[in-house]
Amino acid sequence: MTRIAVITPILPVPQDMTRGRFIYETTRALSHQAEVRVFLTQAQYPQASWLQPSRHRSVVMADSYSLPGIEIETVTYPAIPLISRVTNGLAAGMSLLKRIDQYSPDVLIGYWTYPEGAGAEYVARKIGKPVVIGALGTDINDRQGINAWLTRRTLQAADRIVFVSQAMTRHAIDTFGVAPTQCATVVNGINTAVFHPQNRAHCREALGLPQDAPVVIYVGRLIEAKGLRELVQSVTKMRSSHPNLRTILIGEGPYLEALKDLISSHGQQDSIILAGGQLPEKVAQYINAADLLTLPSWSEGYPNVLVEALACGCPVVATDVGGIPEIVTSENGRLVPPRDADALADALTQTLEKAWDRPAISQNMSRTWDDVARETLEVCRALTPRMSA
């Protein structure tokens, strides 16, 4: 059986159980088809508050941290914001080397291009094994300066790169000079046992939502680049024509406090509900209760929340960026330009007022995580004979 070492900084954690869920689902499905151990890499910053990263709070999971269905080892490496950026890949690799060498994998997969992907490459070269980089979206989109250089170097050094959308594959080839022969596209799947059509009235009753109110839902990280400012502006504008509109935001993130202030400044405290992070079963319930799901991001890879919404039969409104046009069609939703609150408001209104064929929407979404795992494993196995020859 193929033995795979997965290196990633992103998995669901108690503070945000939606974080890195597609990596978790992929590795869990892979564990049914191969022997897999996940190495959860974590940057260890100095304790002084002024040496903590500015964009997020550093949380280091204990050695005992676990998730159902996958084997996890936590690994820390020293880091200082900005100062150690160029050396973080090396530091991650050096911290991983002994652990992974002892595990003796056939192939390594680094989910997140830099520094984890670079760390995986360092280890792979040291132990003579092939390495696959799993590019997620944010880790290659909008890279500039030193970040772009580090990303380019990491991608070009990989034996194979797995992208979650055709758009990301084209972007890596055009922007980072990646050879097309290095690339594979493996789009995400769905946990069909969780994300499937449910009775909308029953879901609304269980969640305490009014049966007659239009409901718009957002699920994702609470960061400005997800278009949350535009979303608040849009639904505020819509209240004149839909006075009982409810907007539910599910997720956690560093934009939370600013988002609360923004909602308050628009006088929407009663109509915009901050529901916090939720487990997938509850997310599915919210999606089935909603009239539509929206994702007005400025950039994306292949956002799984859209696929999950469509699997529930829920139409979507999303921005025309990244791999989203590969998901959203006129039969299941609408596309809008990013950072355009007026266009978003118009699309949300039109989508609310259209009678969608929700069963037909859901029937077109049947790709599972087992499919993703099988295709990922094919990429890994194709490398092993060549590297051992």
Nearest to 372 by CA among 40, 9, 23: 23
183 Cβ contact partners less than 8 Å away, ≥ 6 residues apart:
160, 161, 163, 169, 172, 173
Note the pLDDT of residue 385.
67
Contacts of 99 (CB under 8 A, 6+ apart): 39, 73, 75
Reported pTM = 0.84
List the structure tokens of 21. Answer: 């869920």
pLDDT tens per residue across span 152-167: 999 999 999 999 999 9
With bands split at pLDDT 50, 70 and 90, how would you rate the model's confidence at 137? Answer: confident
- Least-confidence region, from 51-65, 181-195, 231-245, 337-351: 51-65
Which residue is it, tokens 């973080």? 88
pLDDT at 246 over 90: yes
Nearest Cα neighbor of 217 from 274, 267, 268 is 274
Predicted local confidence at residue 82, as pLDDT: 76
| Domains by residue range for the chain, with CATH | 3-189+369-388 (3.40.50.2000), 200-363 (3.40.50.2000)
Identify the pLDDT of residue 20: 86
Strand pairing report for 72-78 and 316-319: unpaired
Write the DSSP symbol of residue 65.
-
* Mean pLDDT on 258-269: 97
pLDDT greater than 90 at residue 144 = no
pLDDT of residue 182: 95
pLDDT of residue 289: 98
Residue 46: the pLDDT is: 75
Mean per-residue pLDDT, 15-23:
83
Token pair recorded at residue 242: 């839909």
Quick one: which of 211, 203, 215 has its CA closest to 281? Answer: 203
Residue 276 is predicted with a pLDDT of: 93
Q: With 50 as the cut, is the pLDDT of residue 388 above it?
A: no
DSSP H helices in the chain: 21-30, 88-103, 118-127, 145-157, 166-176, 200-207, 228-238, 256-265, 280-289, 304-311, 341-353, 358-363, 369-388
Q: Look at residue 141 in the predicted model and tell me its pLDDT.
A: 83
Contacts of 257 (CB under 8 A, 6+ apart): none
What is the tens place of the pLDDT at every residue in 83-104?
888 999 999 999 999 999 999 9
Specify the 3-state DSSP secondary structure of 314.
Answer: coil
C-alpha span between 79 and 85 (Å, rounded): 8
Looking at residue 55, what DSSP letter applies?
A: S
CA dihedral 229, 231, 233, 239 (to 10 degrees): -150
Rg (CA), the chain: 21
Estimate to the nearest angstrom the gap between the alpha carbon of 273 and the chain centroid.
Answer: 22
The residue type found at 175 is T
User: pLDDT digit string (tens) for 317-376?
Assistant: 999 998 999 999 999 999 999 999 999 999 999 999 999 999 999 998 889 999 999 999
- Is 50 exceeded by the pLDDT of residue 379? yes
Beta carbons within 10 angstroms of residue 349's beta carbon: 18
67-79, pLDDT tens digit by residue? 999 999 999 999 8
- Which of 52-61, 357-366, 375-384 is the least confident region? 52-61
Q: Provide the pLDDT for residue 17.
A: 77
- 292-323 pLDDT tens trace: 999 999 999 889 999 999 999 999 999 999 89
